[in-house]
Structure 1
Amino acid sequence: MSKELQKNYSIGEEIGHGRFGVVFRCHSLDSGEVYAVKSVDKSLLADPVDLDGAEREAKIGQIAAAGNPHVVQIHSAYEDEVSIHLVMDLCEGGDLFDRIAAGGGAPMREEEAAELMQALMEAAAELMQALMEAVALCHRRGVAHRDLKPDNIMFDGKGRLLLADFGSAECFGDGRAMRGIVGTPYYVAPEVLAGRDYGEKVDVWSAGVVLYIMLGGIPPFYGDTAAEIFQAVLRGNLRFPTRIFGRVSPSAKDLIRRMLCKDVSRRFSSEQVLRHPWLTSRSGTRCLLDLT
């Protein structure tokens, strides 16, 4: 563990681990505030691109988080011979995957999903703004997340939604498109898999998959292997099985269709998602649920 890190923080117990590293609870020796520290083992990053990504996560994460209440804040970064250490907000409320799994895969009530999606899309909106707009939101800072999924949608101790893990994030703008196959099979947008240049609307597609799963308890495109999932995503044959979505309102399904539109030019932007009636007219369950 970095000596510089230990000068400023007391490292506590392990609270999570992933493919490249471990997350520990820690607290500031100056303020006493509690944080999480993500330690990425550089020996596991055999590909220099992966190492660059670990270093870039701190930089891009800080750009995305500046002035953004729905992104995990990275407070400091340290590096030693063994690891890269990122000190960030502690998300004591778990992630959206945990909440979906706790329900046994059952769909949430539509009004609950709408509230979560509202918070998610506020975060997505901050990821989806144009580079030239003069406010400190993520897309206005030219950042796309590129790996939106329930595991990366976290909650703090007060239940506030926080978008986490910018390891796959990329900067865009000034006419520069993004390339490269990144993301997670169920959630990746078809234009990413097609190997074409793509833009920030890949995040809208991924958020649409999240909304479909929140309401239906199953992914919209699936298969027994990653290759089969990718083929299903590329086909983009979106269905709403009656036995699962029969009581979900037409308005909610309309929003999902507009988010999971293969034609990127017709796919909603995050700002359009936020203006959709399903998110702006949540005055009671009768207007949300199809009770007829």
Structure 2
Amino acid sequence: MCESLRLKYQLCEEIGRGRFGTVYRCFSPVTGESYACKTIEKNLLLDSTDRECLEKEPKILQFLAGDSNILRLVDIYEDDNYLHVVTELCAGGDLYERVVARGALPEAEAAGIFRQLMSAIGRCHVTGIAHRDVKPDNVLFDSEGNLKLADFGSAEWFGGYEDRMMNGVVGTPYYVAPEVLMGRDYNEKVDVWSAGVILYIMLAGAPPFFGETPAETFEAVLRANLRFPTRLFRSVSPEAKDLLRKMMCKDPYRRLSAEQVLRHPWVMSGGETR
């Protein structure tokens, strides 16, 4: 372990594991608080892209510091063999676990979660950052239930200009926007599409586009044939469906921006419909 890290924190139990390293709970005797420490083995970084992703995340978290719905960076330590990233501890689990355990959520509860998610995405976009991998696994909750958007390893800086386009196939099969899969240049609205998929899953308990294999899922995303099966959407309001259509619009120029999503009547009413 890095000596400077060891002097400030006590590493405790493992709470997660990823492709490049392990996440531990760590404790600070000075503050009396627990944190999360992602310990990354540098020898597992196979190429420059891997290194760039893992070096990019702490920089972006520093840049976004102060937003209550974005994971807070606490410390960074590095030695010859490891990179240690200390963040706030999200003891409330993630949105994926919540939906798997409970299935579809009531509209008011889904709206409360969704508003926080879109607030975080809106802050990223205003700051000129596209997350590019918005999915339930990256939506965490602290011990008080507050949402924290995490994992900015795929994020990209677009400078806050509407005409600044990005490229590269990044993201996760169920949640990636069709323009990414088409290999076209795209803008930050790919995050709005992904957030729309998350909202659909929270309301229906199932994804809007899926297949037996990743390739079949990608084909379904490319078709972008959005449906609302009666058995899943019987009790979902027309306002919620209207928002979903406008977020998962295949044409990104007609798709709502994050700011427009936050002003949609369903979001502003907190999911309370007549």
What interval of TM-score do these two structures reach, taking the shorter chain for normalisation?
over 0.9
Q: What does residue 78 of structure 1 align with? A: 77
Choose from 112, 129, 146 the match for 1:143.
129
Distance in structure 1 (CA, Å) of the matches to 2:181 and 2:216? 12
Choose from 137, 144, 147 the match for 1:161.
147
Q: What does residue 89 of structure 2 align with? A: 90
Q: What does residue 55 of structure 2 align with? A: 55
Distance in structure 2 (CA, Å) of the matches to 1:187 and 1:16? 22
Q: What does residue 233 of structure 1 align with? A: 221
Residue 21 to residue 283, structure 1, CA distance change in 2 (3 Å): closer
Asked whether the equivalents of residues 174 and 210 of structure 2 are also in contact (C-alpha less than 8 Å), the reply is yes
Structure 1 vs Structure 2 CA RMSD: 1.4
Choose from 105, 109, 117 the match for 2:106.
109
Distance in structure 2 (CA, Å) of the matches to 1:262 and 1:44? 37
Per-residue deviation, 1:9: 1.4
Q: What TM-score do the two structures reach when normalised by structure 1?
A: 0.90
State yes or no: 1:127 paired with 2:100: no
Asked whether the equivalents of residues 34 and 89 of structure 2 are also in contact (C-alpha less than 8 Å), the reply is yes
Q: What does residue 190 of structure 1 align with? A: 178
Q: Which runs of 5+ in 2 are unaligned?
A: none
Asked whether the equivalents of residues 107 and 271 of structure 2 are also in contact (C-alpha less than 8 Å), the reply is no
Q: Deviations over 1:169-200 (max 9, x none)?
A: 11112554211111110000111111111111
Per-residue deviation, 1:270: 0.6
Matched residue of 1:128: which SS? helix
Matched residue of 2:122: which SS? helix
Q: What does residue 198 of structure 2 align with? A: 210
Per-residue deviation, 1:21: 1.2
Q: What TM-score do the two structures reach when normalised by structure 2?
A: 0.95
Per-residue deviation, 1:231: 1.0
Q: What does residue 249 of structure 1 align with? A: 237
Opposite residue 122 of structure 2, the aligned amino acid is A
Identity %: 57
Distance in structure 2 (CA, Å) of the matches to 1:87 and 1:31? 14
State yes or no: 1:258 paired with 2:246: yes
Per-residue deviation, 1:41: 1.6
Per-residue deviation, 1:227: 0.9
Q: What does residue 137 of structure 1 align with? A: none
Residue 166 to residue 112, structure 1, CA distance change in 2 (3 Å): same
Matched residue of 2:75: which SS? strand
Distance in structure 1 (CA, Å) of the matches to 2:222 and 2:106? 29
Per-residue deviation, 1:236: 0.5
Runs of 4+ residues deviating >4 angstroms: none
Q: Which runs of 5+ in 1 are unaligned?
A: 130-139, 288-292
Per-residue deviation, 1:2: 1.3
